[in-house]
Amino acid sequence: MRLKGKVAIVTGAAKGIGRAIAEGFAREGANVVINDILEGPCREVAKEIGEKYGVRTLAVPGDVSLRTTAVKIKEETLKAFGTVDILVNNAGIMISGLVLDYREEDWDKIFAVNAKSVFLMCQEIGKVMVEKRYGKIINVASIGAKDGAVAQAAYAATKAAVMNFSRALSKEFAPYNVNVNSICPGIVETELGQVNLADPEKRKKFIAMTPKGRISVPEDLAGIAIFLASDESDFIVGQAINIDGGILYY
């Protein structure tokens, strides 16, 4: 129960990595605010997690690339719980394509969802954390931020933006006892991850390049998120931690 009584917000939490992290937080005693652009699944997951772990949950569906959603999440969280201790910016999309063929509107969209949303949420929720002199912010980047792939240049660029935004923000927020870090998943068995895994040959290739010898599952990300959200990580600031089974070593 390392997070007992804490209030955590997780974006993009209706499935995949976001849901696994939200469940991990609830299992550790946190009350969890579930955000996702999919309203039905968002509300269902909040209900399921609350009933399963006996914690309070709140569903706030919406598009976090819009400031109105970030403000709504902040206001509804404060109304329901009176505070916020943990923020996980997980919402993200993948729009693959070679650079020479990539559409400008797709570039704008992937940056809005993957990068701008992190800025908006950190700004709105960060105000609360800085004022109370406490907070843990975990931004989900990717090993793609450190080593991009063919047809994923735009995605890699957004995740590099998240990683380096987190590093810079950590220097602004650390004096206020607000820790900012990012986590960098590898190839994960999620709906988004199928862009890399749907092809059996590509799946074999990714397994072969992973020293652990398997594809990651969302639950692999929960442990590090719990640690970074807990008081055990108080002296960890501005890090970009790989959770990739050993694909990268930097």
Catalytically annotated residues: 155
Beta-bridge partner residues of 243 = 185
* 35-67 b/e (C-beta count within 10 Å ≥ 16 → b): bbbeeebbbebbeebbeebebebbbbbbebbee
- The two tokens of residue 120 are 């908006």
| Cα atoms found within 13 Å of the Cα of residue 78, Cβ hemisphere only | 12
Give the C-alpha separation, 225 to 185, whole Å: 11
Phi, psi of 54 (to 5 degrees): 70, 35
